[in-house]
Amino acid sequence: MTATRILEQTPAMTLQREADRLAALQELDLLDSPRDEGFDRIVRLIQQIFDVEIGIVSLIDAHRQWYKACDGLSFGEIPRDASFCRYVVAAEEAIIVPDATLDERFADHPAVTGDLHVRFYAGIPMKTKAGHVIGTLCAVGKRPRAFGIRETGIMQELAGVVMERIELLQTASTDSLTEALTRRAFKTEADQMVTLAQRHAHALSCIVLDIDHFKSINDTYGHAAGDIVLKAVSATCKHTLRATDLFGRFGGEEFVVVLPYVDMDGAMATAERLRKALEGLTVDIGDKTISVTASFGVASRSLTGKDIETLLAQADAAMYRAKQEGRNQCRSWSALQKDAVTGGERKRVLRTGFILFDDRRNLVNCSVKSLGSDSAGLVVSDASDLPEEFLLQIPADGIETTCRVIAHDGHNLEVVFQ
């Protein structure tokens, strides 16, 4: 079934509800955010209280279920279409499955029939005060079990604790692990810097850097070792930067910098200094030594880069090009513009998107994370089988257009409209 037909058969109320839900999730700005011990503690409590193998706190965007905290699984996200929790989002209420082999929705699911051997599932919606379901709290076990009103009530109380923790994090200004600014605090200060730069017509630039192969560090040496690497990277960056530069942590291994009074040439020079400093960084973990590199994207204030969201989206796109071209490199948005012939204005958003190719015979769900008049940033579960050109539909904006990929890193795609 093509995306056009899917949209034709989807009630407008459902499309609007999903758009509102994603807007609420975007406002919280938690997707791909750093680990938090408060959430980790809650999933461990779920395991202990209910004697299950897996506890999860998850957020659900347009194309995936992302685990903000998880104990008992080796992966950090799954496609939304493969998730038990998509039914919780659709119903906006708890779903309890005592034995998945007896439930027609899940009996043939690979998590049930395969090595995970899932039998029991309890999914509780995590709701904002306005009633939008942004994610789920889950207890998952490998043995069938009963789950009554009392147990469901305990899970609902824990879901309330999660939402209170989310609200508390909105007020935090410093990342507890790296001592860099949090996303929200960084954006608040960066917005002020950009406003002043616009008012007084002085230069300002933005750098996005992402640690290369960080997942393999966590997988090989453990999360404790990964945390040590993150702290070392943060300390190295702060030592290299000026006191007037703004430095924040945006994701698990993504950091951002704003450089006031620095143009593109100066920003590229700063990015190169940071790259060399991290390339020379080694971290000792027991008797092992870990080497570190990072990929950098740079954007500067211009007529089309008037706010921090646009600069971040542009720097993101350049960073993905650096990843694509071999990592441990610095790339600029201005160079990417010349290759892509794009105007450049972009806004960070969170929208549902559909990628169609092979004459609309194949469809892939995506999340639209940034959008401009002639380009977009997309996230998919796996970009390896996608062609370089495809049709993109964004229902909330009434967009259907042919796109060309100009940068990607396996999950993130930067595209220009044809």
Q: Which two tokens stand for residue 66?
A: 């992302």
How far apart are alpha carbons 409 and 58 in whole angstroms? 23
Element housing 65 (H / E):
strand 64-71
Find residue 34's DSSP bridge partners. Answer: none
Runs of H (alpha helix) within 264-332: 264-279, 308-324
Helix axis angle for 37-50 and 149-169, nearest 10°, is: 170
Q: Rg of the chain over CA atoms, in angstroms?
A: 22
Q: What are phi and psi of 244, to 5 degrees?
A: -85, -10
The answer to whether 55 and 42 have CB atoms below 8 angstroms apart is yes
How far apart are alpha carbons 311 and 304 in whole angstroms? 9
Q: Is 254 a catalytic residue?
A: no
How far apart are alpha carbons 18 and 348 in whole angstroms? 18
What do you get for the CA distance between the two ends of the chain, in Å? 24
The answer to whether 354 and 392 have CB atoms below 8 angstroms apart is yes
Is residue 155 classed exposed, middle or buried when 0-12, 13-18 and 19+ CB atoms within 10 A define those classes? buried
Q: How many Cβ atoms from other residues are within 10 Å of residue 223's Cβ?
A: 12
In 3-state terms, what secondary structure has residue 375? strand
For the chain, counts of helices (H) and of strands (E): 12, 19
Sort strands 254-260 and 204-211 into parallel, antiparallel or unpaired.
antiparallel
Residue of 253, 254, 309, 345 marked catalytic: 253
Q: Which two tokens stand for residue 132?
A: 């939008």
Q: Which two tokens stand for residue 220?
A: 């090989």
Q: Is the dihedral of CA 269, 271, 272, 277 positive or negative?
A: positive
In 3-state terms, what secondary structure has residue 33? coil
| Distance (Å) of CA 301 to CA 258, 267, 311, 318 | 11, 11, 7, 15
| 330 CB-side CA count, 13 A | 19
* Active site amino acids: 253
